[in-house]
Amino acid sequence: MTVDVLIALGVAAELACCVGLVATRTAIDRLHYAGAATTVGPALVAAAVCVEEGLFTTNGLNAVVVAVLLAVLGAGLATATARAIRLHERGTLEPSATEREQAS
């Protein structure tokens, strides 16, 4: 029962991110959903595997490794992508005068 709920939540989280990808218009907005998909869904699926098999088993540890890899590498990839999008749209990574005013 617990495994079913965890899998359902993990799959639902990933599908929600897919819907968000289509629903938003700008690349930065879409990147938020791609980044969210690397954290919530994999963690829930890995938790389901660990509940089914046990944490300190080959399958359980492999699932945890996948979830951690996706979370850590996904965050790095999202940062690199955001930099590329910003450079493409603004030509610089420096904040504009308007953005500085809004931040202060």
Q: Tell me which residue of 4, 3, 34 sits closest to 16, measured CA to CA.
A: 34
**Which CB, 83 or 97, lies closer to another protein?**
83
- Residue 56's SS3 state is coil
Q: Which of 2, 54, 62, 100 binds another protein (CB under 8 A)?
A: 62
Q: Measured over all CA atoms, what is the biggest interatomic distance in the chain, rounded to whole angstroms?
A: 55
Shortest reach from residue 3's CB to another protein, in Å = 7
What is the smallest separation between the CB atom of 56 and another protein, expressed in angstroms?
14
Write the CB contacts of 87 (distance below 8 Å, at least 6 apart in sequence): 93
Report the C-alpha gap between 104 and 95 in whole angstroms. 12
CA geometry: angle 79, 7, 63, nearest 5 deg: 60
Q: Give yes or no for residue 55 binding another protein (CB under 8 A).
A: no
Q: Which positions touch another protein (CB under 8 A)?
A: 3-4, 7-8, 10-11, 14-15, 17-19, 21-22, 27, 30-31, 33-34, 37-38, 41-42, 45-46, 48-49, 52-53, 58-59, 62-63, 65-66, 69-70, 73-74, 76-78, 80-81, 83-85, 87-88
